[in-house]
Amino acid sequence: MKKLLFIIQLAALVAVYSSPTYASGGHGKGRALGHYKHKHKHRPVVIEKHYYHEEVRHYPAPPPPQYSRPVDQRSTQGLVGGALGSALGYEMGKGDPVASGLGAAAGAYIGNGMSGR
């Protein structure tokens, strides 16, 4: 019980003395920090103001971007090659859908290669 009362009193003491010293930037009355007199002198600060003229440059607007249509990667040869490759893969794989898909991919690749795309 005595410890609790001591802690409450200590907290109250810290709260009372900490606010004024921190509010004055640490240069308060000095009682909390042990500074009774300042021995250094504050020198006046000279503030020089420099004004400059900002040069404004005007540039012409950039030309609008030229958008081109994307090149169509599809070709008739690739479509026919994919269909034939799918049919061959289905027959050779005896109905396996993975073999059919691999055949379609290989046929489309070969068909597009023949067309030069």
pLDDT reading at 58 higher than 80: yes
Q: Between these two residues, 35 and 91, which has the higher pLDDT value?
A: 91
Q: Is residue 101 part of a domain?
A: yes
Q: Is residue 22 part of a domain?
A: no
Helix residue ranges, H only, the chain: 2-23, 76-92, 97-115
Q: Is residue 95 part of a domain?
A: yes
Q: Between these two residues, 32 and 117, which has the higher pLDDT value?
A: 117
Q: Is residue 89 part of a domain?
A: yes
Q: How many domains does the chain have?
A: 1
Q: Is residue 97 part of a domain?
A: yes
Report, as an integer, the average pLDDT of 57-71. Answer: 83
Q: Is residue 86 part of a domain?
A: yes
Residue 93, domain extent: 76-115
CA-nearest of 112, 23, 20 to 74 is 112
What's the rounded Cα separation, in Å, for the pair 13 and 15?
A: 5
pLDDT in tens, 70-83: 777 777 888 899 99
What's the rounded Cα separation, in Å, for the pair 7 and 10?
A: 5
pLDDT reading at 111 higher than 80: yes
